[in-house]
Amino acid sequence: MKKQTNININFLPILVILALLLIWQLISYFQIVPTFMLPSPVNVVKAFITDFPLLMKNAGVTLLETFWGLLIGVIGGVLIAIIMDLFNPLYKAVYPLLVLSQTVPAVAIAPLLILWFGYGMLPKIVLITITTFFPVAVEMLTGFRATDPDLIHLMKTMGASKWKLYYYVKFPNSLNHFFSSLKISVSYAIVSAVISEWVGGFSGLGVYMTRVMKAYAYDKMFAVIFLISALSLLLIWLVTLIQHKVMPWEAVKK
Amino acid sequence: MALLQTHHISKTYSDHQILADINIQLNQGELVSILGVSGIGKTTLFNIIAGLLSPENGEVLLKNQPITNKTGQLSYMLQKDLLLPYRTIMGNVILPALMRGTSKKVAEAKAAPLFKLFGLQHTEKRYPQALSGGMRQRAALLRTYMFNKEVALLDEPFSALDEITKHQVHAWYLNLMSKINLSTLLITHDVEEAILLSDRIYILSGTPASITKEIIIDSELKKQPDFELSTSFLDYKRQILNLL
């Protein structure tokens, strides 16, 4: 009985998606919205297949930018969280600014970065680093600070050094925070990459988007939108997969 | 022989004196309780003895050597089992050894034969969240034992357990104590627990809190079956409740 319910729940979103695709196809078929503005799903798939090599080439560039930006952002975020956790005055001085800075839309500085660093990969990586750095730093710090003080006392009575305290207690205790921030950062990273490519660049999915936009190729536009969404979902899924591998104890029933 | 002593310990928090002139002594192989109502300053005293807090006056001595403000001298356990959810039971109990710099292999070899003694067979590879409350507490006690210190400080270690489990753990702990010859300083607000487990009880009361009475529990009476249902047990209880 229970199994059947689970299957139904798993199938529901797929059914909704199929229904939406069907409605979309019908709208195009009966020309309720002109086909050049809203191409049918079939046409979008055709555009995707035709442009597949080009899309993959551009996706490669976007993913490479995402990778480097994320890597630097995550390492930087973790490091700054450790430094702020170690030095309380620094924490008090910088933490409110860190939280406040998250309200600034980092994408708004994309044009400035292009002016500073040119049309290559660097401004994209810098923007991704900036957008991914803050969620990781704030969440890691929250994780460090949320460590049970009694646990810290216990470790001290065992004679734990500062670094052992991080290794055995603070890091593992912050892993949940880390992975939830990483999921946010991954989707931010893709968006930042695409937006900075819009502003200026030679290749990447953002550049492809501006080109097909100027050509009024709506079918290709839809294809690339779906590709970007799929990449974002794929990366989030990958993070979840790594999380399950790294934190096997989470699967143990409480 | 006096293993652990406190000499004239006092502590003040923002002009409010919590502890005044605390003198206690724990001898080799003894289980001594410090009994007081909640909020009296038991945990403050506990943290001073553990070296986590500085006393305003006085000192803590282990085998006549001062250990005031020094952590890592005594083994330590709190009401919360504080088992790390991301480490297996084996991974948890060897932590004190790992902190001392012992290799994982050596620490595991040392802990492995103790699992049976602590009633934790076949839990080595399990995670704490898969164990019952009583078992988790026993695992925390094994970790405490792995500190490899002569004195164990226990702060209300059994108070989170339900009555039946607590009863079982008490009996088990007394049996274990006799086997491993661990000297224990127990902090508790549970009068019955103090009478059942202790050789001596210090009553902590008043404002600021001080040791107002020392009660010695007759070891012969303690050995009797159903001691906790006897009139002498009730007499101890009445005497203590009048003092608190």
Provide the β-strand partners of residue B16: B13
The CB density around residue B169, as the number of other CB atoms within 10 Å, is 22
Provide the residue ranges of all domains of chain A, joining segments of one domain with +.
1-38, 40-251
Closest CA to A196 of A253, A143, A125: A125
Mean pLDDT of the region A173-192: 91
Nearest C-alpha of chain B: how many angstroms from A172?
7
Instruction: Report d(CA B220, CA B197) in Å as an integer.
Output: 13
Q: How high is the ipTM of this complex? A: 0.81
Rounded to the nearest 5°, which phi and psi values hold at A239? -60, -45
**Chain B: closest CA distance from residue A251 (Å):** 10
Residue pLDDT tens, chain B, 244 long: 789 999 999 999 888 888 999 999 999 888 999 998 888 888 899 999 999 899 999 999 999 999 999 888 888 888 888 999 999 999 999 999 999 889 999 999 999 988 988 888 899 999 999 998 888 988 998 998 888 888 989 988 888 778 888 888 888 888 887 777 788 999 988 898 899 889 999 999 888 888 888 999 888 888 787 888 888 889 999 998 988 8
The residue ranges of every structural domain in chain B are 2-74+150-243, 82-148
Predicted local confidence at residue A6, as pLDDT: 55
Highest mean pLDDT, choosing among A4-13, A102-111, B228-237: B228-237
Chain B residues with beta carbon closer than 8 angstroms to that of A254: 129
Q: Do B129 and A159 touch (CB under 8 A)?
A: no
Query: Which architecture characterizes domain A40-251 according to CATH?
Result: Orthogonal Bundle (1.10)
Q: Look up the pTM and report it.
A: 0.77
pLDDT band at A1 (very low <50, low <70, confident <90, very high): very low
Model confidence at A9, pLDDT cuts 50, 70, 90, reads low
Tell which A residues from 174 to 213 touch B, by Cβ distance under 8 Å: 175
- Listed residue (B240, B111, B128) closest to B188, CA to CA: B240
Residues with Cβ within 8 Å of B176's Cβ and at least 6 positions away in sequence, in order, are B117, B118, B141
pLDDT score of A253: 59
Lowest mean pLDDT among A6-20, A157-171, B79-93, B134-148: A6-20
Higher-confidence residue: B78 or A125?
A125
Q: Could A156 and B147 be called an inter-chain contact, meaning their C-beta atoms sit closer than 8 Å?
A: no
Contact B62, A127 (CB under 8 A): no
Q: Hey, what CATH topology would domain B2-74+150-243 get?
A: Rossmann fold (3.40.50)
Asked if B95 and A252 come within 8 Å (Cβ–Cβ), the reply is no
Mean pLDDT, rounded, for A102-120: 84
What is the per-residue pLDDT for A2?
Answer: 46
CB spacing of A158 vs B99 below 8 angstroms: yes
Query: Between chains, do A158 and B52 touch, taking CB under 8 Å as contact?
Result: no
Strand partners, B202: B34, B214
pLDDT of residue B133: 83
Nearest to B160 by CA among B86, B83, B51: B83
Give the chain A residue nearest B53 (alpha carbons). Answer: A153
Q: Chain A contacts of B92, Cβ < 8 Å? A: none
User: Which residues, at least 6 apart from A193, have a Cβ–Cβ distance to it below 8 Å?
Assistant: A62, A65, A66, A69, A124, A127, A128, A204, A205, A206
pLDDT tens by residue, A29-51: 888 888 777 888 888 899 999 99
Q: Which B residues, 66 through 95, put their C-beta within 8 Å of a C-beta on chain A? A: 71-72, 74-76, 78, 80, 82, 84-87, 95
| Span A68-82, pLDDT tens digits | 999 999 999 999 999
| Cα of B62 to nearest chain A Cα, Å | 15
B50 touches chain A (CB under 8 A): yes
List the single residue in B with minimal CA-CA distance to A171.
B86
Instruction: Please name the residues in contact with B210: beta carbons below 8 A apart, sequence gap of 6 or more.
Output: B19, B20, B21, B22, B204
Q: What is the pLDDT of residues A58-68, one digit of tens each?
A: 999 999 999 99
